[in-house]
């Protein structure tokens, strides 16, 4: 595992939440990938190390996408939500992360 380069505190703050959506479940079934919302300054090696540390799985690759915040109205003025980053984490064959099982146990 490659998490020796990064501090444990940093890796615990990289992953913010799993993205649970129709697209995320479709990607999980077809490509064995899991989608996470990550810190906006996180790098691919940090994301890989964080997933391997927290879920004890082997990660093959990581793809990152920056999501622009939506325009929203607050009364009469226009505002904007913050931009955020999501990571598509490709797991090694035969490995999976099941969030439903983790909540029940």
**Percent share of the chain, pLDDT over 70:** 90
**Percent share of the chain, pLDDT over 90:** 74
Alpha carbon distance 39, 15 (integer Å): 7
Rounded to 10 degrees, what is the CA torsion of 78, 67, 44, 20? 110
**DSSP of 5-40:** SS-HHHHHHHEEEE--SHHHHHHHHHH-EEEEEE-T
Q: What would the pLDDT profile of 27-47 be if each residue is shown by its tens digit?
A: 988 988 999 999 999 999 999
Does the domain at 8-92 match CATH 3.30.70.370? Answer given as: no
> Span 67-79, mean pLDDT?
94
- Partnered with residue 18 across adjacent β-strands are 36
Q: Which pLDDT band holds residue 2 (cuts at 50, 70, 90)?
A: low
Name every residue whose Cβ is closer than 8 Å to that of residue 93 and which is 6 or more positions away in sequence. Answer: 32
């Amino acid at each position: 595992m490659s998490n020796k380069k990064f501090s444990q505190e940093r890796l615990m703050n990289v992953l913010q939440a799993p993205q649970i959506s129709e697209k995320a479940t479709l990607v999980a079934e077809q490509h064995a990938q899991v989608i996470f919302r990550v810190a906006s300054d996180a790098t691919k090696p940090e994301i890989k190390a964080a997933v391997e540390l927290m879920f004890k799985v082997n990660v093959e690759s990581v793809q990152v996408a920056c999501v622009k915040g939506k325009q929203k109205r607050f009364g009469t003025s226009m505002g904007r939500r913050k931009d955020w980053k999501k990571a598509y984490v490709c797991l090694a064959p035969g490995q999976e992360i099941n969030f439903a099982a983790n909540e029940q146990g």
